[in-house]
């Protein structure tokens, strides 16, 4: 310690107690995850929207209100439902006092995912303007807040106004900075609400979102005409599912609990997969392997539970073990019932299973050769700098694990020197990987580079072995880097589409420019940021980072540390994947060249 510096005094004066409002605003990540600016579907402003709509959905689930009206005008959000309305004497408490709400009462709300009493309170605390109005039996109560602090309230008669609740809010720019709602992301979220709540009408900026057939409609819109047989659909009181097969590789699932998307599945998804296998085997009186029955499957499952138990704060994996038995049985009965009534679909499914068996035997032979070749190369995976923890470990750190797929040793060198050795692994590619579009699955096991990468990820025998929570494509910001990025995304979309659907694939954003003078250094991600920084710093030195290897380890640490910028690779629907890959990565060179020439800036 420097003798001239006074020691830090740690006494009673340093211990602070935050109010719930202060805690929400200071530790926003605990309540809404990332902040963002609206350019990412998981950004905080969409979580605020979700929390408000979820309350209206809960009313519909309990049998009250068949329409929800949503409006977003610039930064102002409005949600009006026609449910029971918040009890007038508890309006202020329900939107501002933590652990207050009727969702703790099973008689009032039986199937709700928002059981922590925080949702709307977080929206209130993180909004520069928040207004709630409850209408009940010809009366109303209104309260207006600013950053969680009550500004005014009033009540009176509301003649002619239907029962229900109106919530308006403007996300606080002090928290979110500059932001903008992306209409496409909002559309996607509202369609999911419609699919999961057949019979409900959602009106968003005067556009109607309605699904009569629930998860059947979800798959029909997602798969398009790629299905091998008509979609199997089944619905009972607490369970709804739909499924079909396509010619794609792997298994793709969408799973939900009380309307909450569970990206990592859980016991309900495991039971769904097991029930499908049991139903198919009983119908055909066979003992087919699960991999052969499920290869190429696309399915959606939704369950309603009174007391859902999730394995993480983000509610992305269900942990209830007691539901497995009845779920497996109901799925089995639903699949069996459909196949008995639809002989043509059953015949098409049988053809698919036989085809899958043949492919699996062929693939196993190729895998055996690939494993033997890998043993001859090295006892370790070439070009992998591993980390201490891995997905599936008991440590909480397992959820933080990530692997960077980089190009060349120079790029990976900076990362290796600045990474977190406990949670961050590096796999270095040797230049451009094979363009796998249109190739059989056996080809990727014959390719040494791709096989080594699959071993590094732990997916050479299926995605169940995935070793890292995030797989991050980290390439140079030049044409070669973009090409490698596209080749890797083609690989994942072709053979491991479920990794994309479940949100495991990301792209690393690194700065394009460094603008600095003697006093300050600014890293810029766009030319516009560079121009602004250059104008502010006056006559600075401007450096263009072409490759990741040009960024020193000392600098790189901040770009893969707590301020890391990741862009998730996601899909609007799987039906567009093959068409897009055919266009960008297929053999239609003249058409692609014409498109590029027409769209040059």
E-assigned strands of 386-461? 402-407, 424-429
Q: What is the DSSP string of 417-477?
A: HHS-TTTEEEEEE-SSPP--TT--HHHHHH-HHHHHHHHHHT-TT-GGG---SEEEEE--S
With beta carbons less than 8 A apart as the criterion, state whether 265 and 255 touch.
yes
What is the pLDDT, as a whole number, of residue 107?
45
The token pair that represents 447 in the structure block: 């390719």
What is the pLDDT, as a whole number, of residue 276?
96
Say whether both 556 and 540 belong to one domain. Answer: no
What is the pLDDT, as a whole number, of residue 372?
65
Neighbours of 380 (CB within 10 A): 9
DSSP H helices in 342-382: 343-377
How many residues in the chain?
601
204 within a domain of the structure (yes/no):
yes
Say whether both 118 and 249 belong to one domain. Answer: no
169 within a domain of the structure (yes/no):
yes
2 within a domain of the structure (yes/no):
no
What is the pLDDT, as a whole number, of residue 260?
81
38 within a domain of the structure (yes/no):
yes
**pLDDT tens digits for range 89-104:** 989 988 887 755 544 4
Say whether both 306 and 190 belong to one domain. Answer: no
**Domain CATH for 249:** 3.30.230.10
504 within a domain of the structure (yes/no):
no
Say whether both 203 and 304 belong to one domain. Answer: no
Say whether both 343 and 489 belong to one domain. Answer: no
**Domain CATH for 105:** 3.30.565.10
What is the pLDDT, as a whole number, of residue 38?
86
Supply φ then ψ for residue 22, to 5 degrees.
-65, -40
Say whether both 78 and 143 belong to one domain. Answer: yes
What is the pLDDT, as a whole number, of residue 105?
43
Among 539, 540, 541, 514, which residue's Cα sits nearest to residue 529? 514
Burial 144-177 (b: 16+ CB within 10 A, else e): ebebbeeeeeeeeebeeeebbbbbbbebbeebbe
**pLDDT tens digits for range 467-484:** 999 999 998 877 788 888
Among 540, 553, 217, which residue's Cα sits nearest to residue 417? 553
104 within a domain of the structure (yes/no):
yes
**Low pLDDT (below 70) residues in the chain:** 1-19, 99-118, 312-315, 370-380, 410-411, 572-601
Say whether both 203 and 224 belong to one domain. Answer: no
Among the candidates 190, 210, 230, a domain finishes at 210
**Domain CATH for 472:** 3.40.50.670
What is the pLDDT, as a whole number, of residue 116?
43
Say whether both 449 and 491 belong to one domain. Answer: yes
Sheet holding 521-524, edge to edge: 521-524, 513-516, 541-544
Which domain does 396 fall in, by range?
A: 379-499+552-560+574-598
Among the candidates 210, 229, 257, a domain finishes at 210
Question: For the chain, how are helix, strand and coil distributed in percent, rounded to 5?
Answer: 40, 20, 35
Among the candidates 156, 190, 210, a domain finishes at 210
With beta carbons less than 8 A apart as the criterion, state whether 383 and 373 touch.
no
β-bridge mates for residue 407, sequence order? 429
Residue 132: CA count within 13 A, CB half-sphere: 27
Say whether both 264 and 157 belong to one domain. Answer: no
Q: What angle do CA 219, 222, 226 make, to 5 degrees?
A: 90
The token pair that represents 238 in the structure block: 């607490």
Say whether both 263 and 286 belong to one domain. Answer: yes
**Strand, coil or helix: what is 431?**
coil
For the chain, the domain total comes to 4
β-bridge mates for residue 413, sequence order? none
Say whether both 230 and 300 belong to one domain. Answer: yes
411 within a domain of the structure (yes/no):
yes
Say whether both 165 and 269 belong to one domain. Answer: no
**Strand, coil or helix: what is 131?**
strand
The reported pTM is: 0.71
5 within a domain of the structure (yes/no):
no
The token pair that represents 272 in the structure block: 């769904």
Sheet holding 402-407, edge to edge: 384-385, 424-429, 402-407, 470-474, 505-509, 565-568
């Amino acid at each position: 310690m420097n003798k001239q510096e006074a020691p830090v005094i740690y006494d009673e004066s340093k211990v602070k107690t935050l109010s719930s409002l202060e805690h929400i605003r200071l530790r926003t990540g605990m309540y809404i995850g990332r902040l963002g600016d609206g350019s990412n579907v998981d950004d905080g402003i969409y979580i605020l929207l979700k929390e408000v709509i979820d309350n209206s959905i809960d009313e519909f689930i309990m049998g009250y209100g068949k329409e929800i009206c949503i409006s977003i005008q610039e930064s102002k959000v409005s949600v009006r439902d026609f449910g029971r309305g918040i009890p007038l004497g508890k309006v202020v408490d329900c939107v501002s006092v933590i652990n207050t709400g009727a969702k703790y009462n099973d008689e009032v709300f039986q199937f709700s995912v928002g059981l922590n009493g925080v949702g709307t309170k977080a929206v209130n605390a993180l909004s520069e303007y928040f207004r709630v109005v409850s209408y009940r039996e010809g009366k109303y109560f209104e309260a207006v807040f600013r950053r969680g602090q009550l500004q005014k309230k009033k009540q009176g008669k509301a003649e002619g106004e239907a029962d229900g609740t109106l919530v308006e809010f403007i996300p606080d720019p002090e928290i979110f900075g500059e932001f903008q709602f992306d209409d496409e992301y909002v559309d996607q979220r509202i369609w999911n609400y419609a699919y999961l709540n057949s019979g409900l009408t959602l009106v968003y900026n005067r556009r109607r979102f309605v699904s009569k057939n629930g998860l059947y409609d979800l798959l029909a819109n997602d798969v398009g005409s790629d299905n091998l047989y008509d979609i199997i659909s089944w619905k009972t009181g607490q369970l709804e599912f739909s499924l079909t097969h396509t010619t794609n590789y792997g298994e793709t699932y969408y799973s939900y609990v009380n309307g909450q998307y569970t990206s990592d599945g859980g016991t309900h998804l495991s039971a769904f997969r097991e029930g499908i296998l049991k139903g198919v085997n009983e119908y055909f009186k066979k003992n087919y392997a699960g991999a052969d029955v499920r290869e190429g499957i696309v399915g959606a499952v939704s369950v309603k539970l009174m007391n859902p138990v999730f394995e993480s704060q983000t509610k992305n994996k269900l942990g209830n073990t007691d539901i497995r038995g009845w779920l497996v049985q109901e799925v089995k009965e639903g699949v069996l019932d459909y196949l008995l009534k639809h002989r043509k679909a059953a015949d098409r499914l049988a053809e698919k299973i036989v085809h899958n068996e043949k492919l699996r035997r062929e693939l196993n032979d190729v895998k055996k050769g690939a494993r033997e070749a890998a043993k001859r190369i090295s006892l370790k995976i070439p070009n992998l700098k591993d980390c201490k923890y891995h997905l599936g470990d008991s440590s909480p750190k397992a959820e933080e694990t990530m692997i960077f797929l980089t190009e060349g040793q120079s790029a990976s060198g900076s990362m290796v020197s600045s990474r977190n050795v406990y949670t961050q692994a590096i796999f270095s590619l040797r230049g451009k990987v094979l363009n796998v579009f249109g190739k059989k699955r056996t080809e990727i096991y014959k390719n040494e580079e791709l096989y080594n990468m699959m071993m590094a990820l732990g997916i050479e025998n299926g995605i169940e072995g995935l070793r890292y929570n995030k797989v991050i494509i980290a390439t140079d910001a030049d044409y070669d880097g973009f090409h490698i990025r596209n080749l890797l995304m083609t690989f994942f979309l072709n053979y491991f589409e479920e990794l994309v659907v479940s949100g495991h694939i990301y792209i690393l954003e690194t700065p394009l420019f460094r603008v600095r003078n003697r006093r300050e250094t600014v890293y810029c991600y766009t030319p516009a940021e560079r121009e602004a920084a250059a104008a502010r710093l006056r006559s600075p030195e401007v450096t263009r980072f072409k490759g990741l290897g040009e960024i020193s380890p000392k600098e790189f640490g901040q770009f893969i540390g707590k301020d890391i910028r990741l862009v998730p690779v996601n899909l609007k629907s799987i039906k567009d994947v093959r068409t897009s890959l055919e266009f960008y990565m297929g053999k239609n060179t003249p058409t692609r060249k014409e498109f590029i020439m027409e769209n040059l800036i």
